[in-house]
Each structure stands twice: as C-alpha cells, then as structure tokens.
Structure 1
Amino acid sequence: MTGAATALTLGNVSFANAAPADGEETRVVRGTLPPGSPDYVHLPVEVPRGVREIHVSYRYEHPPVPAGTQGNALDIGIFDERGTDLGGPGFRGWSGGARTEFFLRADAATPGYIAGPVGAGTWTVLLGPYTVAPQGLDYEVTITLRFGASAATPEPVYPSQRARGRGRAWYRGDCHLHSVHSDGRRTPAEIAAAARAAGLDFINTSEHNTHSAHSAWQGLWGDDLLVLTGEEVTTRNGHVLALGTDPGTFIDWRYRARDNRFGRFARDIRRTGGLVVPAHPHAACIGCNWKFGFGEADAVEVWNGPYTPDDEVSLHDWDNTLVAAVRGGRRWIPAMGNSDAHREHRAVGHPQTVVLADDLTREAILDGIRAGRSYVAESSTVSLTFTATDGRGRHAGIGERLETDKDTPVTLRLDVTGAPGCTARFVTDQGLLHTAPLPAWGTGTAEWHTTAAYASYVRAEVRHARLLPGRPGPMAAFTNPVFLGAVAR
C-alpha cells in the first residue's frame, strides 16, 4: 500500500533481454484481484532504450453475480518513467473502462493518451478496480513494445482564448461534454457542430481524468465559438469540473475525501485559471455522489442533462446553501447547468448556462460564472430577464445585490420567451412564495412585490406542467438569485 491514493504495486514486467533494432516484443500478465482491493493497482513495466511505441491491451472476466451485487469493472491508464507521484509529471493517459487497448508514441496516441517520446525507465500501467465481484476479478494485461526510430513530437495547438463576441452581452455555453477522448462517442468535430446547431457561444472540454483533448480542436473554434479547456476530475467520492484551466493542465484524481487532498487540487485548478465546479452532486451512479463538501467550490452544477429527480435534489441542496450564506454573511455559490452529453441521444446544450460577460473571452466568461451573473435554460429558445427595482429607481440583476432599505417596496420582474405552457415561480430564503402562469405561446412577464425584510434573496424558476400530482413540473429555466438589502458591515 502506497501513498494517499491507496495502491497495490505488482511485480515488474521486464523487457531486459529485448533490444531488437526493429520489430516488437510482448509480455502478458495475469492475475486476480480480490474483493476489497485498493483503488489502484500499479503494474511496473521496465522499458529499455530504443522503443518507439508502447501498446497495451487488457481484458477481465465478468462472472455472474446475485441481483443487487456489483459485478467487475476495471479501469486502465498509464504513467511514464517520470513516476506516479500524486500530481506529478508522469501522467500519460487514462481511458477508464471505455477502451480495451491503447498505444503511445512520439507523434501520436490513442485518444485519452498523450503523445510524446517513449523514454527508457519504469513505466506504470495503472489498473483501477472500480467494482469487484464476490468471486474476484481475473484480469490479463498484454504489453507490446515496438522498437525503432521515433518521429518528432508535434507542438500542441490549443484553442484561442477569445472569440469575436458582442461586447457585454449574454452568452450561452455548455461546460460539461465528453468526446472520444474519454467515454463519449462524438468526435471533437461533431461536438463543435452540435454546439453551433444548439446556438452556443462557448463550450468547455471536460474529459474524465485526462487533458488529451485540449489539443484536439484545431480548426474547430472560430469567431462564433469559444472553446475552453478543462477536465472532469473523476474521483471515487464524486466528480468535479476543472472548468477553463490553462491548456495542457492535468489535474489528478487519485484520492478520496478521507485523504484530505482535494483542497490541494482545487487550488491547482484556480492557480491555472480555472473554476472548481462539483458536477451532478446527487447523481446515483457509483462514485458520482459528491462527498468533498462545497468549501472549495466556485460554482456547482445543479442541472445535469435531462431534468431528473437527482437534479431536483441538487437544486434544493443548493438553495439551502444560499440560505446558509445569507444568514451567516458568507460567500454564496452560484449554480450552473450542463448537458454532460456523451452520445447522440444526449443533446449538446441541454441544458446550457447563459452568462452575462463583458466579452466572449475565457476570462470574461469565467468571471461571469464565478460572479453568478447567469441563468440556466433547457435550450437556446428559452431566454430570461430577471431584475429587482425599488421605489427609488435602484435596480439589480441576476447575481447582483439591490442595496435597499429593509422596508422599501421591491418589484421583481421576470420576462420570459420560448417557454409555452410554463409557470413562473419566485423562490426566496423562506421558500416558494409566488407563482404565475405564463401565456400559452411562451412569451410573457411575471411580477412580484416584496421587501428586503421579507426576502433576503429571490430567484426565479420557469417550470413545465406537472407530470405527477403534488410535484413541480420539469425545469425549463432557473436563475441565480438577486439579493435584497444592505450588505452587513
């Protein structure tokens, strides 16, 4: 057992006697991992000089298990001769359980993996027993080294950090997307086309535990589409979006909440210019439920893909953080929504975060998300304007504060387009206090009057008709809050 990320190290795989000028050599490793195995298993591979390519394939058994019992699932990745230190420079790729084989060489690599020289030394194939059946997990790993002269490694080309934009305006984006560089099925070109078709102005590349896609967008960004680079840091205790980090940034994921390591990597995300955004915090999949707390969060992904009960729980949980923030005079955490689209049946841009930003640049978009100047909509057909105004002519918008006396009347106004048959809802720190039907054609206005003494903040929701009695309908859009009253000094 080694390190904060609990790991088991197996015996070395040696190619010591394999040094052909050309050709290849193969070694096969077999074993069994018992239930309760560590999170990660290191398989060291001694790589001699003169190797131009490493190819790895693997398979494992799927024995039948009783109903309600998890079967076998085994992830895979690789680190080079620079080592496996947590957050170190040795990372060369990860495909989780999405692939059964991969290769790396100087000029190319399987998506999810990083092209570059194959240096001599101890490489490490990283196995991740995600779940292990009661019978154990029988595996076989095949490692092939191909010898010969290496080609040059191309210089990576990263997306531009600005697009043309419209000055200070509302910009639409989807910051949680997966391509063939992790477990998605779309290519970057297909994602870019889908983003444009969905009316998006920006996207963020967020592959599971790899930054290989950062250099995969050449020719796909443009004046009409800003491409941010990031990662979905996929730990055993929840997923977090490293949103808008510097191109080429890798954020490690090999830790649990009990290891007390997340703060370090949250700081790494911010140090490289990005935002820390816990993703789908109440998702039901194994390892998806967020257990690191929200003390490091810059925003939280409240709505993930088609609206589900998981999202409803996330929304209520987020609303509780707003209540705690206003009562304790603490920083509040903005909400956002993203599609988490992996395949064609999940639409890019459903939902999308609409951000008020000074321009269509990386810096301006991230500033808008961080400040909460945003709302979430199910598509580009839905648009909102939400403002608070008092009798003295002062006003504030989404994510802002209306500094007004506690007893001065305040008017909240929500203008909606593209939401036929929906209902407007005004939610405060006391809960849902006002609803109003919107016109059948989908364009209309709802108003509500209150005071800062009665509502510390107000946020707006637009809901479809109820599907079940006693429960609110699916979400069409919601805003971050407008805060009311003077700031406590």
Structure 2
Amino acid sequence: MSAPTRRTLLTTGVASALTLGGVSFAHADAGGGDRTETVGGTLPPGSPDYVYLPVEIPRGVREIHVSYAYERPAVPAGTQGNALDIGIFDQRGTELGGEGFRGWSGGARKEFFLRTDAATPGYVAGPLRAGTWFVVLAPYTVAPQGLTYSVTITLRFGAPEPVVRPAYPPERAEGRGRAWYRGDSHLHTVYSDGRRTPAEVAALARAAGLDFLTTTEHNTHAGHGAWAELAGDDLLILLGEEITTRNGHVLALGTDPGTFVDWRYRARENRFGRIAREIRRAGGLVVPAHPHATCIGCGWKSGFGEADVVEVWNGPFTPDDEVSLAGWDAALATGRWTPAMGNSDAHRDPDRVGTPQTVVLADDLSREAILAGLRAGRSYVAESSSVSLAFTATDGRGRAAGIGQRLRVAADEPVTVRLTATGAPGRTVRFVTDQGVLHTSVLPGAGEGTVEWVTTAAYATYVRAEVRHPATLPPLPGALAAFTNPVFLEISPRTR
C-alpha cells in the first residue's frame, strides 16, 4: 500500500482523518475455521491524526483478533521517532461521539481480541455484527523516514458465547456521614497503559488510607465493569475516563457507568465545549489533567472556561506542578475561581497510589456528595494520609468560613486566618493571597501546630494555605506537602 497523497486526506468532523482501502472477508466460510488477512503501508511525516482501515465482517464470526507492527528507524537527536496507537470501531461507524467505539489500547498493546463474552482489557465485549468495521491507527509521531506498518486481522468463525452484562460498583459506601474523605481520582490499570490490575489498585488505595478512588483509563470505558467486586463499605469507587487528545488530557470524573467520551479532536476545532457538556450530562466533572506537563500532547490547550475542577498537582511534585499551581493562583487573582485537586496518575510500580490525594468535605461517602464537594472546592490536597489540615477565616464576631467558602466583612475589619496541621514535621506554612505570600511560619518538629495571621478583606481578596518541604534550591520554595483551596474574603456592600 503506497503512502497517501494530499488528495486522499480528508479533514472531517473527527480531526484530520484518512480512510484506507478496505479488507474484505465477505466471502469467508462461516462454517468454521479461521481467516487471516494482512495489509500494510507507509505513512509520511505530517500524516493525519487518525487512519481508518475498513474491514468487512461477515456473519458467523465468533472472534475478531487484530495485531499490528511498525518500524522504528533511528532518528537524529531531538527528532521524534515513530509511535503508532490502535483501536477499533464496529459497524455503527466512526462519527464523533463514539457510538461505534469498541476499544482502544493506544500504544500499550500490539494485539487485541473481541468476542461476545470477553475482550482484551480496554476493549468492549459484545455482539460481532456483520458490516464494515474500522481498525483505527493513530500516528502519534512520525519519523522523517515515514512510518511503515502492517496490520493482521484474523476472524474465527463459530457459534458465539452468550453476552455477559457488566456489573458496576455501587454509588454509595457506608462512610462517616458529613466528614472529610480522601481520594485519588486519576488512576490507570491494565485496561489502558497501566501495569496493575484493578484488584491491585484497590488494595493499594486501601493501604494509602483512601476512602474513594476514580478509575480513569485513557480513551476507553471498557474497564468500568471490572470494579464492582472491589468496592466496599470502606471504599467508594467512581468511574470515569482520561480523554487523551493531541492537545492535552482531561478527566471525565465520576460519570455514569458505561459512559464513553470521545478524544478525536484538537483545540483548533473548538469542539471541547460540546464534549464538556456530554461529560456533565453523564453526571461527571470536567477536570483538565496535568495542564503544564511536558510530554508530547500532554499540556492542556483547550482553555479552562469549561473546567469544573483543575488538577494542579499530579504525582510526585515537580516543576510543572509548580507552574500549574502558579497559573491556577493567577486565575484566582483575576476572579476566575476553579477549584483545584491533586491525584497520583499512578500507572505501575513504583508509582504510589494516593500520592497526592484530595481530601474533600462531603455530606456522605457517595458519588453525588463527593462530586458536589469537589465542585464546590471544599477540599485540600495532601501528599499522603498522614497529613491533615483544618483551615478557616474568622471575623471579630465569630463568624467563620472554611475552605472553598466566602466570608463577608467590612473592608477594614480584622479577619483571623488559622491553619491547623498534623503530620508535617518541620514543614513551612505559607499563607498566599492575590498579592502573593504574605505570611510564613515553620511547624514544630512534632509536625502538629496551628498558625494564625490577621488580615482584612481590603488587603486580601482570598487566602489559601500551603505546607512546603524545606527548600532545596533557594530562593525557590520546597516541594508541596499540602495545599488548600482558598477562603474568599468579600467586602460587605453595606460597609464599602
């Protein structure tokens, strides 16, 4: 198969896409046995984001098996080599919205299968109906020499097994009533590019002291049915997806079971508003993930106007998290309030589940209550379950506001900001406002203590707290051990 010319490239509603010549099994013998076809070609630099290989599937297919390979030639230093992702859509087609979506493994696997009763993790089991299916190839990066690939499709004929209906985890756990609950809402397993099973992740979540977790596989919902038996009165399991576009990643957090969210668009197509509305209709939150990550395609470029929450801290604290924190704080100073959260994004050993974790005040341990607390910003982020914070602002009459709340006071009325921390020995507490860091104090060696600072609404439109490790490269601050969403100080209209 020759390389595509410009005349064969189509810019469609699904980013830039190319449809190749098809593979037909239309005259295959449905009486039994296997049929295999292999096709290949070379994609040039500048290829479209998605290349569709139509496959004619006849009646009587019991299993579809697909494998692929591609060349990885040496490239000059500083030049990206070949990386090719793969997935599949069924006879319902490839339109944006994913009605025909049947699975995605990105670059994590070189083969997959689908049957009525089972499928490779990341792929959706179910009926294998006759019609035109589409293997989708996604050339993530292409070497100067081009990307030479081959795809092998095997059909196995015979009577199908009964369809297995997925079971999903319950939306409520026993909990402790209105309380602070700890969670990690960015996690991967073998259902995308992780190396851990759901059972292993659930065990690690419990060991990390978490009350809830959210499963967020890359570009697939196929793992939603793998968690039902792993939930319990001590662990609420929410469902979601990490939508991995070419211009950044975003979490669909806490969506309805079985919700698939499409990823085939770029920021320039101005489609993310529609996608965000779909996430909310499915009951979920829109959470841009690691917005300043430096990996290819990871930095978020679709803006924050549709965000319900933003993931400011992702995994072990790094300079790109510091940039995300600064960007989030700058938005606060302009009056754009989007609550912040932190998650581990754990994939495999030695990634630590629950580092960091978001601690949210919720009325109970349920999907509805946890999402409501996150949406309201009634939360803080800690590096582990050993760190706990309590943060309030109180006026002279004893009226108080907590994390994510607003306190209305006279412009010059003194307001006492108070942080109580445990599990942070020798860490530095910083109170941050729209002007910057206005107060610092070091916690005692025992790691427990209370820090107070007095300000006014005229001086600080909001106050948030950070707990930092000792600096390693002064004057740059040390890594975060914890931080809070802000308390807002509003000047009462009657006393302006």
CA contact (8 A) 2:23 2:56 kept: yes
**Shift of residue 235, structure 1, vs aligned partner:** 0.2
* Residue number among 390, 396, 399 corresponding to 1:394 in the alignment: 399
CA deviation vs aligned residue, 1:42-89 (integer Å, no higher than 9, x gap): 000000000011000000000000000000000000000000000031
Q: How does 1:132-171 map to 2 (within 5 A)?
A: 132-171=142-181
Per the alignment, residue 416 of structure 1 pairs with 421
Q: How does 1:49-448 map to 2 (within 5 A)?
A: 49-325=59-335, 332-448=337-453
CA deviation vs aligned residue, 1:279-323 (integer Å, no higher than 9, x gap): 000000000011000000000000000000000000000001101
Q: How does 1:457-468 map to 2 (within 5 A)?
A: 457-468=462-473
1:451 matched to 2:456? The reply is: yes
**Shift of residue 469, structure 1, vs aligned partner:** 1.8
CA contact (8 A) 2:469 2:478 kept: yes
- Structure 2 CA distance, aligned partners of 1:373 and 1:488? 25
**Shift of residue 485, structure 1, vs aligned partner:** 1.7
Normalised to the residue count of structure 1, the TM-score between the two structures is 0.98
Structure 1 residues 8, 388: CA separation in 2 closer, same or farther (over 3 Å shift)? Answer: same
RMSD over equivalenced CA pairs, Å: 0.9
Structure 1 residues 267, 465: CA separation in 2 closer, same or farther (over 3 Å shift)? Answer: same
CA contact (8 A) 2:177 2:363 kept: yes
* Residue identity opposite 2:205 in structure 1: A
Per the alignment, residue 480 of structure 1 pairs with 485
CA contact (8 A) 2:88 2:102 kept: yes
* Residue identity opposite 1:90 in structure 2: G
* Residue number among 23, 28, 37 corresponding to 2:47 in the alignment: 37
CA contact (8 A) 2:410 2:492 kept: no
- Structure 1 CA distance, aligned partners of 2:123 and 2:252? 18
**Shift of residue 261, structure 1, vs aligned partner:** 0.7
| Other structure's SS at 1:403 match | strand
* Residue identity opposite 2:317 in structure 1: Y
| Other structure's SS at 1:138 match | strand
| Other structure's SS at 2:36 match | strand
Q: How does 1:11-50 map to 2 (within 5 A)?
A: 11-50=21-60
- Structure 2 CA distance, aligned partners of 1:30 and 1:400? 58
CA contact (8 A) 2:26 2:56 kept: yes
| Other structure's SS at 1:28 match | strand
- Structure 2 CA distance, aligned partners of 1:88 and 1:236? 17
CA contact (8 A) 2:30 2:59 kept: no
| Other structure's SS at 2:203 match | helix
* Residue identity opposite 1:166 in structure 2: R
Q: Count matched residues.
A: 484
Normalised to the residue count of structure 2, the TM-score between the two structures is 0.97
Per the alignment, residue 3 of structure 2 pairs with none
The answer for unaligned runs of 5 or more in structure 2 is: 1-9
- Structure 1 CA distance, aligned partners of 2:268 and 2:22? 30
- Structure 1 CA distance, aligned partners of 2:122 and 2:277? 24
**Shift of residue 154, structure 1, vs aligned partner:** 1.0
- Structure 1 CA distance, aligned partners of 2:290 and 2:171? 27
CA deviation vs aligned residue, 1:164-204 (integer Å, no higher than 9, x gap): 01010000000000000000000000000000000000000
**Shift of residue 425, structure 1, vs aligned partner:** 0.2
| Other structure's SS at 1:52 match | strand
| Other structure's SS at 2:77 match | coil
The answer for unaligned runs of 5 or more in structure 1 is: 326-330
Of all paired residues, the percent bearing the same amino acid is 75
**Shift of residue 487, structure 1, vs aligned partner:** 6.7
* Residue identity opposite 2:141 in structure 1: T
CA deviation vs aligned residue, 1:23-56 (integer Å, no higher than 9, x gap): 1100001100000000000000000000011000
Moved more, 403-412 or 309-318: 403-412
**Shift of residue 443, structure 1, vs aligned partner:** 0.7
| Other structure's SS at 1:313 match | helix
**Shift of residue 17, structure 1, vs aligned partner:** 2.0
**Shift of residue 20, structure 1, vs aligned partner:** 3.4
**Shift of residue 2, structure 1, vs aligned partner:** 4.2
**Shift of residue 219, structure 1, vs aligned partner:** 1.2
- Structure 1 CA distance, aligned partners of 2:214 and 2:424? 26
**Shift of residue 488, structure 1, vs aligned partner:** 6.8
| Other structure's SS at 1:219 match | helix
